[in-house]
Structure 1
Amino acid sequence: MEKKSEISIVLSGAAGQGVQAVEHILTRVAKDSGFHVFATKEYMSRVRGGNNSTEIRISSQPVKAYVDRIDVLVPLNDNAIERLRPRITEETIILGEKKYVENEKNSIGILLEEIAESFGNKIYENSVAIGILAGIIKAEEDALVNNIKAYFSKKSEEVVKANINAALKGYEIGKSLGLRFEIIPSEQVKKQYLLNGSEAVAKGAIAGGCNFISSYPMSPATTVFTELSRLSKQYGILVDQAEDEIAAANMAIAAWYAGARAMVSTSGGGFALMTEAISLSGMIETPIVVHLGQRPGPATGLPTRTEQGDLNLVLYAGHGDFPRIIYAPGNLCEAYELSAKAFNMADKYQVPVFILTDQYFLDSFYNVDEMPQVKIERYIVKTDENYKRYTLTEDGISPRGIPGYGKGLVRVDSDEHDEYGHITESAEVRRKMVEKRLKKMEKIIQDAVPPKLFGSENYKYLIVTWGSTQLIVKEALEKLGNKDVAMLHFSQVYPVPPIAESYLKKAQKVIFLEQNAAGQFANLIKLTFDGVDTRRRILKYDGFPFSVEQVMEAISKEVE
């Protein structure tokens, strides 16, 4: 039988059973051995128990998307197999503790607990499993030893040694199984590094000059908050875990007013509490950057699952009319670049800027080269004695001063105000100030990030996507190999870049693919451009990400 150059491994077990530890170590062993890696996870909303799973794709070629296919399933508890039954095929190898797999077809039972106990404790079972999987993919032994040692470095020397020996025993077993995987390593991959969505957003924010983060923890966005907290001493970031989301958003606005570059990281339910602060930002023209990690609603919904359901929430958040910018990165490089850009655009236009991700995006990672080059752009001016915070200008952008930088007094007020920042009820001043704020949109649109076309320029069918579905659809189209089908991906969803209209009207058939029930972006396109048919939609809203196979099947039905 032909050997495969890729393997899709799924590990499944209870929360607290060490699934994430296996994922962490094995992916790094694979990358350090020169293999391309992609991993993502799904987990229940509970601290212990239940059943969670991690998918790890290891390949000779770049892999960056979720698939349904399971080549090797490693069940770590007794209900893992039944939960994943729909994804198990005749070719799936089920490998694990004998008592969990003995009644399954195509299974390999191994006495993991017994082997672990031979090294002193059954807690070494996960290290045995890591070793077996490393052996199956023919990973480098040094990579296995070094990553086991690094992961357990805070433990005693005795524990570190036992874990290494347990992993090496598993490594011997894995190599002896003779499974049909022949993954070709690359020296270039060894030089790359693994990055997930949370890290890409956090590091991009730092590259954009973020020096203040205030948040109230909320899954899945907490990971960005904790990553910035972890790096705070290294990069001089002031971190505040606020008492609630209202305080977090208002502190971020206050920090911008004082000259900092601040961000809040939240999810839909937390952002709902911030909408008054967003209106405040719009009125006083003080920037704010908001990262929103989407999850299914309404209310608590599915707190640990994924969805693209909050576009309307950020698009219409806040009372009154004022400009805003919404980014939705489709890959890790875009997340880094757009997170940095968010700070520059917030500073330049003095508006709220949003970065929309979701649970799938934040928890997925793969190996990458260096991130794009970005630079910090600052737009603060030194004030004089006659400084007017809201000077009426042709483009609507007033010079933004900060307290203590110059001789001027920087007045801001949440009531309508005149050029100096004094409260007013003048109809004429009100009209001029509303028009001034909205006037910014003309230049904001000029700065819009254009959508990216993937596939042939001579397309008949155009799949329209935004945010985290980019790489899933890209792989699906590559596997379909139909030159009549292309994808148009938006990493800026508002304001919609005007250039998009020509792409959309060129297609014979436009198909919107979104991870929500209403087709929120399709509806926005319908409002933006006349004459674009937005009726055809592929929608998913069960809390789980699209798989490459699901997208292939759905597109095939649309282009027959």
Structure 2
Amino acid sequence: MERSVIIGGEAGEGIKEGTNLLSKVLVNIGYSVFTYHDYPSLIRGGHNFSTVRFSNEEVKSPVKMGDYIVALDDRSVRRHREDAKTETVWILDEGVKEEVNGKVIRLPIRKEVKGVMRSSATLGALLKAFRIPEEEGLAVLKELKNYEENERIFKRFYEISQEVEEIVEVEGIKGEYISGSEAIALGAVDGGLNVYIAYPMTPASPVLHFLASKKRELGVKVVQPENEIGVINMVLGAAYAGGRSMTGTSGGGFALMTETLSLAGMSETPVVIYEAQRGAPSTGVPTYTEQADLLFVLFAGHGDFPRIVVAPSDAKECYLLTREALNLAWKFQVPVVVLGSKNVGESFYTQEIVREKVVEEPKVWSGSGEYRRYEITEDGVSPLAFPGTKGVVVKATSYEHNEEGITTEEPSEIVRMMDKRERKRKTIEEFFRKRDDTVSVGGDLSSRRVLVTWGENWGVCCEVGEELGYKAVKPNYLEPFPSERLLSELEGAEEVTVVELSPSGQFEKLLKMNGISVNNRFRKYDTRPIFKEELAEFLSGGRDA
């Protein structure tokens, strides 16, 4: 059993909150839920909508068409008429004048309820339509601040709405309802995060907001400086002092951080940056998605220095890879980038995440002999010491240097340090080469037709691949790139289709750089996610992407 619900209206009418409340009810009674939020860069007005897709089997991606469409205004009807099926049920505000086909339930939502509390009216109407018991809705409303008023509104609209079908409690999909952003925050904390320093930039801001709201509970310091340049330098300073530090930003903020990214590379300071991709260049489309920061992140900064880039696809991977990112940064003393996107961070998933604190100790100075911050070692990783260590001066420098951290321009010393950092790069590459989790495989595992993708497209590739007979493959790490493992998964493939959100095919270029060729390509770049229907149509013969 599977259904999808679209809820549309203006910003400020509780569209997102109403959708999340509905999703939590569905998760509580055993369903797997995937929730997609679509909103412009406005506080009020415009058109917001959210889509809840739920099933008694696991769902991993958004769909375009709605079995139920809630429209609080005429604009929502016009925008989503094309998303209606022949049997779609429409729940309309009484003030809507647009005509629709199919079953219609009209309710006085705007007349009786103000602003964000319309979320409780929407919840009441939908639970009544689904014949879900009233108490299931009351259970999730208890988390809201003004519970009594929300309870009154919910009960009122539960009473006056209409029953349509029965959505019964099922045995259950194990998991919690969690966004990618929340999972990134929790993963960082469980990787030993001490301080999160960030300037608000959509779509990375939810991590900042979540950590700030729970900083005492989670035991982290949260700081918002004046801009992204101040942010990354504070992150570097905190790490130099021995604190596990991290920041989050989007493409424009990351651009401002690139000079200090090179400083982290030269000074071998462990820092973690969450880069949440938004749509289009410059300010672009701030509240939407794309995968066009890929090559920028992989090659950002001046000069050669090693880095690690991880690429989560859903909430569980956000948790695991961000937790690992903190440890990798300190293990190898390099910058690590968690490369996500709007839809990885702001979508909500039903996934089982087992939290566990995993904080690996870095290579620390033994305390004997003379301390050399940039000591030449076989693996390229030097022992750490921190300011305050008795009898030690801890240097960090942007200039080329010798083992002691003293500035040098001598060719022989420069080569020694360059070789040291390159040995570290080789050490990192060998570390990942020995692992079997650098690539994920899904879909129809026996198929010789392969979809190769990365990031947020993983869920839709797996679902469509399983239904249409395609194997799905993706790298979980983009630097170092797991080319050997990827090539082994593509061995024997008769057709390879690359799926990405980039007009210029940045991921395809990365594949070619690593000796991997493709036959077909699906590129979407309207800054919206790949809906399941779109990819299925393309692979079934309607190839115009």
Which TM class, normalised by the smaller chain length? Answer: over 0.9
Could you say which residue in structure 2 is the equivalent of 1:273?
256
Counterpart check, 1:105 vs 2:101: yes
Distance 2:444 2:357 in 1: 29
Once the two structures are superposed, residues 430-456 of structure 1 have per-residue CA deviations (whole angstroms, 9 ceiling, x without a partner) of: 111111102112221233342111134
Partner of 1:386: 370
CA 1:58–1:347: 2 relative to 1, 3 Å:
same
Secondary structure of the equivalent of 2:416? helix
SS in 2 for 1:537: strand
Structure 2 Cα separation of the partners of residues 115 and 249 of structure 1: 48
Residues in 2 aligned to 1:114 and 1:215: alpha-carbon distance in whole angstroms: 38
Residue 151 of structure 2 aligns with which residue?
A: 164
Whole-angstrom distance in 1 between the partners of 2:115 and 2:529:
34
Matched residue SS, 2:96? helix
- Aligned length, in residue pairs: 537
Which secondary structure state, in structure 2, belongs to the residue aligned with residue 89 of structure 1? Answer: strand
Deviation, 1:122, is 9.0
Paired with 1:163 and 1:241, the residues of 2 have a C-alpha distance of 33
The one-letter amino acid paired with 1:136 is A
Distance 2:124 2:296 in 1: 46
Residues 273 and 144 of structure 1: CA distance in aligned 2, closer, same or farther (over 3 Å): same
1:381-530 residue pairs with structure 2 within 5 A?
381-382=364-365, 383-448=367-432, 449-480=437-468, 482=469, 485-497=470-482, 498-529=484-515
Amino acid at match of 1:275: T
Give the CA deviation at 1:101: 5.8
- In 2, the alpha carbon distance for the partners of 1:319 and 1:521 equals 22
- Structure-2 change in CA distance of 1:345 and 1:255 (3 Å): same
Cα deviation for residue 125 of structure 1 reads 4.6
Q: 1:190-269 counterparts in 2 under 5 A?
A: 192-269=175-252
Partners in 1 of 2:69 and 2:369 — Cα distance? 70
Alpha-carbon distance in 1 for matches of 2:452, 2:472: 6
Task: Kindly state the Cα deviation for residue 183 of structure 1 after the two structures are TM-superposed.
Answer: 3.5
- Measured against aligned partners, the alpha-carbon deviations of 1:335-384 in whole angstroms (never above 9, x if no partner) come to 10000100111001111100011111111112222336461102141444
Aligned match for 1:92, one of 88, 91, 108:
88
Any gaps of 5 or more consecutive residues in structure 2? none
Code of the aligned partner of 1:493: L
The one-letter code sitting in structure 1 at the alignment partner of 2:508 is: A
CA, structure 1 residues 125+372, in 2 after alignment: closer, same or farther (shift >3 Å)?
A: closer
Q: Which whole-Å CA distance do the structure 2 matches of 1:185 and 1:62 have between them?
A: 15
- Would the aligned equivalents of 2:250 and 2:276 in 1 still touch at CA under 8 Å? yes
Q: How does 1:37-436 map to 2 (within 5 A)?
A: 37-100=33-96, 103-113=99-109, 116=112, 125-151=118-144, 154-155=145-146, 160-174=147-161, 176-179=162-165, 182-186=166-170, 188-189=172-173, 192-371=175-354, 373=356, 375-382=358-365, 383-436=367-420
2:495/2:518 contact within 8 Å kept: no
Q: Relative to structure 2, which stretch is displaced further, 14-23 or 282-291?
A: 14-23
The letter of the residue matching 1:362 is G
Closer/same/farther in 2, CA of residues 416 and 137 from structure 1, 3 Å limit: same
Distance across 1 between alignment mates of 2:115 and 2:265: 58
Distance in structure 2 (CA, Å) of the matches to 1:130 and 1:66:
20
Distance 1:241 1:125, change over 3 A: closer
The answer as to whether partners of 1:281 and 1:351 remain within 8 angstroms in 2 is yes
The C-alpha deviation readout for 1:165-191, integer Å capped at 9, x for no partner, is 3322332444x4334xx43423545x7
Is this contact kept in 2: 1:323–1:438, CA < 8 A?
yes
Per-residue deviation, 1:293? 0.7
Tell me the distance in 2 between the aligned counterparts of 1:476 and 1:401: 51
| Counterpart AA for 1:434 | M
Aligned counterparts of 1:122 and 1:453: Cα–Cα separation in 2 = 45
Contact 1:6 1:183 in 2 (8 A): no
Letter in 2 for 1:476: V
Structure 2 SS opposite 1:8:
strand
Residues 555 and 445 (structure 1 numbering): CA distance in 2 closer, same or farther, change over 3 Å?
farther
SS of 1:100's partner is coil
SS, match of residue 87 in structure 2: coil
Q: Tell me: CA distance 1:177–1:343, structure 2 relative to 1, closer, same or farther (3 Å).
A: same
| CA distances 1:191-248 after superposition (whole Å, capped 9, x unpaired) | 7421001001000000100111111110000111111212211222121101111110
Secondary structure at 2:413 match in 1: helix
Give, as a single letter, the amino acid of the residue that structure 1 aligns with 2:239: W
Distance 1:315 1:123, change over 3 A: closer
- Which has the larger displacement, 250-259 or 227-236? 227-236
User: Is the 8 Å Cα contact of residues 36 and 62 (structure 2) preserved in structure 1?
Assistant: yes
Alpha-carbon offset, residue 282 of structure 1: 0.4
CA shift at 1:524, angstroms?
1.3
Deviates more, 1:56-65 or 1:321-330: 56-65
1:551 aligns with 2:535: yes
Cα RMSD (Å) of the superposition? 2.1
- Distance, in Å, in 2 between the alignment partners of 1:145 and 1:270 is 41
Per the TM alignment, residue 102 of structure 1 is displaced from its structure 2 partner at its CA by: 6.0
**1:534 aligned residue (492, 515, 518):** 518
SS in 1 for 2:254: helix
Partner SS state of residue 143, structure 2 = helix
Aligned with 1:10 (options 6, 13, 25): 6
Distance across 2 between alignment mates of 1:343 and 1:124: 39
Whether the 8 Å contact between 1:390 and 1:421 is mirrored in structure 2 is yes
Q: TM-score, normalised by structure 1?
A: 0.91
Name whichever of 546-555 and 140-149 sits farther off.
140-149
- The amino acid across from 1:394 in the alignment is E
- The Cα shift of 1:528 comes to 1.8
Question: Which residue identity lines up with residue 143 of structure 2 in the other structure?
Answer: A
CA contact (8 A) 1:96 1:108 kept: yes
What is the CA-CA distance between 1:534 and the residue it aligns to?
Answer: 3.4
Residue 45 of structure 2 is aligned to residue 33 of structure 1: no
Per-residue CA deviation, residues 397-426 of structure 1 (Å, 9 max, x unaligned), is: 111221223533211211100000000001
Q: In the aligned structure 2, how far is the partner of 1:435 from the partner of 1:405?
A: 28
> 3-state DSSP class of the match of 2:405?
coil
Gaps of 5+ in 1: none
Give the alignment's TM-score, normalised by structure 2: 0.94
CA change 1:337–1:11 in 2 (3 A) is: same
CA distance in structure 1 between the aligned counterparts of 2:118 and 2:297, rounded to whole angstroms = 46
Does the aligned pair in 2 maintain the 1:287–1:352 contact within 8 Å?
Answer: yes
Q: Letter of the aligned partner of 1:49 in structure 2?
A: G
Aligned partner of 1:23: which letter?
T
Displacement of 1:144:
1.1
Q: Please identify, of 493-502 and 207-216, the stretch whose mean Cα deviation from structure 2 is larger.
A: 493-502
CA contact (8 A) 2:444 2:465 kept: no
Is 2:380–2:421's contact at 8 Å kept on the other side of the alignment?
yes
